[in-house]
Amino acid sequence: MGNNLLKGKKGIIFGALDENSIAWKTAERVHEEGGTFVLTNAPIAMRMGQINELAKKTNAEIIPADATSEEDLANLVSKSMEILGGKLDFVLHSIGMSVNVRKGRQYTDEKYDFTTKGWDVSALSFHKVMQSLYKADAMNEWGSIVALTYMAAQRTFPDYNDMADNKAYLESVARSFGYFFGKEKKVRVNTISQSPTPTTAGQGVKGFDGFIAYAEKMSPLGNATALDCANYTVSLFSDLTRKVTMQNLFHDGGFSMTGVSQEVIEKFTGED
Ligand SMILES: NC(=O)c1ccc[n+]([C@@H]2O[C@H](COP(=O)([O-])OP(=O)(O)OC[C@H]3O[C@@H](n4cnc5c(N)ncnc54)[C@H](O)[C@@H]3O)[C@@H](O)[C@H]2O)c1
């Protein structure tokens, strides 16, 4: 149940595809905390997803937008302000897709048209979203913008493929835009580096089952779930984190700081 942490706050949530999506769980939690929002996704995904069901549950309107299209984004931002009755307090960018991963092309055999498309969708789109908000002066002071990322931006996970490069770029955009958004508009920009999570995007990564099981055994607190991530995002949208900006925040049960765990050692030695 909610604690009204986001009472009176308005925003946009990108990327709720189905009930497993991190954005789906976030929309549910933001609603419980008293926030109101517009839901958006790529027009092609809306036909597949069950976003209408989520919209009904959370009293949200849906505005389709391809996050790579400046025109769609400008329309989304202005219509959202109209619908919500003013400027925005929070935005969640929960978008990722690699064509190389989808087509089974390895990192050493990229097709660069695929690479460019995946980069545009997964990384540059974050800049496009923020530039659209910035130019429309759409954010209230002390607003909060969050994007989702993965630790492959810092350390190599071979099957994460070109998404690793996309995430490194995304995290850099958060810092760079965070400077301007902070200085000019007192808005914070952060990325959450989330544990492997069983969603459509997550399960698209080759060897995902091994990947998530390994992370579970390596993390002192266990993997963070999509709901855990939604809760963390709520805290970043709330007024309790006003001076946190330009950060990449690991949300992974301690995985990123763990060298090895007893469970993993036991796998190799057979000891208890
Ligand atoms: N699942 C994981 O293991 C994991 C771990 C760390 C970070 N993340 C990140 O979390 C975010 C959300 O992914 P998820 O795991 O909830 O999976 P998901 O598949 O549910 O969400 C990905 C979303 O991106 C949307 N999208 C794709 N192309 C788009 C476009 N052109 N315009 C607008 N939207 C578009 C999809 O429609 C979908 O809703 C992604 O950035 C992902 O990389 C996921």
Residue 48, pLDDT > 70, answer no
Nearest atom (ligand 1) to Cα of 120: 31
> Pocket of ligand 1, candidates 24, 128, 199: which has the most ligand atoms within 8 Å of its Cβ, to mutate?
199
Residue 1, pLDDT > 60, answer yes
Report the distance separating Cα 204 and Cα 104, nearest Å. Answer: 10
201: part of which helix (H) or strand (E)?
helix 200-203
Residue 101 Cβ contacting ligand 1 at under 6 Å = no
Nearest residue (CA) to ligand 1, atom 37: 45
* Span 10-269 CATH architecture: 3-Layer(aba) Sandwich (3.40)
Q: What is the pLDDT of residues 138-164, one digit of tens each?
A: 999 999 999 999 999 999 998 999 999
Residue 272, pLDDT > 60, answer no
Give the mean pLDDT of 227-256.
98
Task: Report CA(119)–ligand 1 centroid distance (Å).
Answer: 13
Task: Report CA(201)–ligand 1 centroid distance (Å).
Answer: 5
Average pLDDT over the chain reads: 96
Give the mean pLDDT of 132-140.
98
Residue 5, pLDDT > 60, answer yes
CB atoms within 10 A of CB 197: 24
Report the distance separating Cα 135 and Cα 70, nearest Å. Answer: 11
Q: What is the pLDDT of residue 204?
A: 85
Alpha-carbon torsion (156, 162, 168, 170), positive or negative = negative
Task: Report CA(152)–ligand 1 centroid distance (Å).
Answer: 15
How many Å separate Cα 188 from the centre of its chain?
A: 15
Residue 171 Cβ contacting ligand 1 at under 6 Å = no
127-129-133 Cα angle (round to 5) = 115
Q: What is the pLDDT of residue 205?
A: 84
Nearest atom (ligand 1) to Cα of 196: 3
Residue 224 Cβ contacting ligand 1 at under 6 Å = no
Nearest atom (ligand 1) to Cα of 195: 5
Alpha-helical regions (H) of 85-196:
99-102, 112-119, 125-135, 163-185
Nearest atom (ligand 1) to Cα of 93: 41
Tokens of 205: 């990564």
Report the distance separating Cα 24 and Cα 55, nearest Å. Answer: 10
Give the chain's largest Cα–Cα span: 62
Q: What is the pLDDT of residues 63-113, one digit of tens each?
A: 999 999 999 999 999 999 999 999 999 999 999 999 999 999 999 999 999
Three-state DSSP state, 64: coil
Q: What predicted TM-score, i.e. pTM, was given to this entire model?
A: 0.97
Residue 200 Cβ contacting ligand 1 at under 6 Å = yes
Q: What is the pLDDT of residue 271?
A: 61
CB 21 within 8 A of CB 200: yes
Q: What is the pLDDT of residue 135?
A: 98
Nearest residue (CA) to ligand 1, atom 5: 196
Q: What is the pLDDT of residue 189?
A: 99
Task: Report CA(96)–ligand 1 centroid distance (Å).
Answer: 4
Name which of 256, 123, 110, 117 is nearest 196 in CA terms.
256
Q: What is the pLDDT of residue 57?
A: 96
Q: What is the pLDDT of residue 258?
A: 97
Confidence band of 45 (pLDDT split at 50, 70, 90): confident
Can you tell me which residue has the tokens 């390596």?
A: 218
Tokens of 152: 């492959």
Quote the radius of gyration of the chain (alpha carbons, Å): 18
Q: What is the pLDDT of residues 199-218, one digit of tens each?
A: 988 888 888 899 899 999 99
Report the distance separating Cα 128 and Cα 248, nearest Å. Answer: 19
Write down the domain spans for the chain: 10-269
Give the mean pLDDT of 56-63.
97
Confidence band of 173 (pLDDT split at 50, 70, 90): very high
Nearest residue (CA) to ligand 1, atom 12: 94
